């Protein structure tokens, strides 16, 4: 069944664990995520970015996610990833999304609070959850190096969480979207300071390529949701490239099965 993920993420944070959120935009990405969740025996979050509407509408994604989740043994959360437009959030909520991210990270602090409060009010009418963001990463499909990230200011966290009422909070502690050039460095002192300010689940975007030891350390300090896209997308593309070189390469239906399996394999590695 689909859920809003609220009690799941609270439980996960309290237990010092995390749940992965994979970016999905079609049937195969969703099937890969659910197969990985089944094999891991753990819940999963399906994250559909507002920008993915060129692949499929909210309605199509919701219908597929609901159908798949209804026969899945594990809890599934369908989440709207990175959205800066309240009317798009409204649309997702109207469609049935029970978890949304309002990304006000590019706004001045008071404006971020105000807009996130509005998102929370919209979501409340549906019993849906809102993820906010404080600090800033590079853009969602960035290559992990083009823009300078702004670390989350730990002293602002209590006020932000308190005034907005967000259910989870994305933080910037050295994580970047896309490929890490060199070894990723997470600032755990900063994360501990942030975690001391709020008991809501914390979210680590840009988790591709961070590696389990660091992710485990992050979970022990309050990260309850890790967002993973780049590595899965690359694995899917690599599986397609390899499949194209085989006799099955002339058949898209067969290539797609290989792609789905390639993505599933990488997704499985992200469960704790």
Q: Using CB under 6 A, list all residues that contact ligand 13P.
A: 23, 81-82, 140, 177-178, 205-208, 227-230
Q: How far is the CB of 70 from ligand 13P (least distance, A)?
A: 25
Q: How far is the CB of 9 from ligand 13P (least distance, A)?
A: 15
Task: Measure the CA–CA gap between 135 and 194, rounded to whole angstroms.
Answer: 11
Cβ proximity to ligand 13P, 209 vs 249, nearer residue: 209
Cβ proximity to ligand 13P, 88 vs 257, nearer residue: 88
Cβ proximity to ligand 13P, 115 vs 228, nearer residue: 228
Residues 105 and 141 sit within 8 Å (Cβ to Cβ): no
Q: What is the CA radius of gyration of the chain?
A: 18
The active-site residue, picked from 81, 111, 189, 193, is 81
Cβ proximity to ligand 13P, 161 vs 204, nearer residue: 204
Q: How far is the CB of 99 from ligand 13P (least distance, A)?
A: 13
Q: How far is the CB of 126 from ligand 13P (least distance, A)?
A: 22
Cβ proximity to ligand 13P, 20 vs 43, nearer residue: 20
3-class DSSP string for the chain: CEECCHHHHHHHHHCCCCEEEEECCCHHHHHHHHHHHHHHCCCEEEEEEHHHHHCCCHHHHHHHHHHHHHCCCCCEEEEEEEECCHHHHHHHHHHCCCEEEECCCCCCHHHHHHHHHHHHHHHHCCCCEEEEEECECCCCCCCCCCCCCECCCHHHHHHHHHHHCCCEEEECCCCCCCCCCCCCCCCHHHHHHHHHHCCCCEEECCCCCCCHHHHHHHHHCCEEEEEECHHHHHHHHHHHHHHHCCHHHHCHHHHHHHHHHHHHHHHHHCCC
Q: How far is the CB of 175 from ligand 13P (least distance, A)?
A: 8
261 noted as active-site residue: no
Q: How far is the CB of 138 from ligand 13P (least distance, A)?
A: 9
Task: Give me the sign of the Cα torsion angle 169, 5, 44, 54.
Answer: negative
- Residues near 191 by Cβ (< 8 Å), separated by ≥ 6? 171, 173, 202, 218, 221, 222, 223
Task: Measure the CA–CA gap between 19 and 219, rounded to whole angstroms.
Answer: 10
Cβ proximity to ligand 13P, 68 vs 210, nearer residue: 210
Could you list the active site residues? 81
């Amino acid at each position: 069944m689909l859920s809003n993920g609220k009690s799941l993420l609270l439980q996960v944070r309290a237990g010092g664990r995390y749940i992965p959120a994979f970016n999905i935009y079609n049937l195969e990405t969703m099937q890969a995520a659910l197969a990985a969740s089944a094999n891991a025996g753990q819940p999963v979050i399906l994250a559909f970015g507002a920008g993915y509407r060129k692949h499929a509408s909210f309605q199509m994604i919701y219908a597929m996610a609901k159908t798949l989740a209804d026969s899945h043994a594990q809890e599934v959360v369908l989440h709207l990833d990175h959205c800066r437009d309240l009317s798009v959030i409204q649309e997702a909520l109207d469609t049935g999304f029970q978890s949304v991210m309002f990304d006000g990270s590019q706004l001045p602090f008071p404006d971020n609070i105000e807009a996130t409060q509005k998102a929370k009010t919209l979501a409340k009418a549906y019993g849906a959850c809102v993820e906010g963001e404080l600090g800033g990463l590079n853009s969602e499909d960035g290559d992990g190096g083009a823009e300078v990230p702004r670390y989350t200011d730990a002293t602002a966290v209590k006020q932000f969480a308190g005034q907005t009422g967000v259910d989870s909070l994305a933080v910037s502690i050295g994580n970047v979207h896309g490929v890490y050039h060199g070894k990723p460095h997470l600032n755990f002192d900063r994360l501990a300071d942030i975690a001391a300010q709020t008991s809501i689940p914390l979210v680590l975007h840009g988790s591709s390529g961070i590696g389990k030891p660091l992710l485990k350390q992050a979970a022990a300090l309050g990260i309850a949701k890790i967002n993973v896209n780049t590595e899965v997308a690359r694995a899917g593309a690599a599986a397609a490239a390899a499949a194209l070189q085989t006799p099955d390469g002339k058949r898209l239906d067969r290539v797609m099965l290989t792609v789905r399996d390639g993505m599933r394999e990488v997704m499985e590695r992200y469960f704790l």
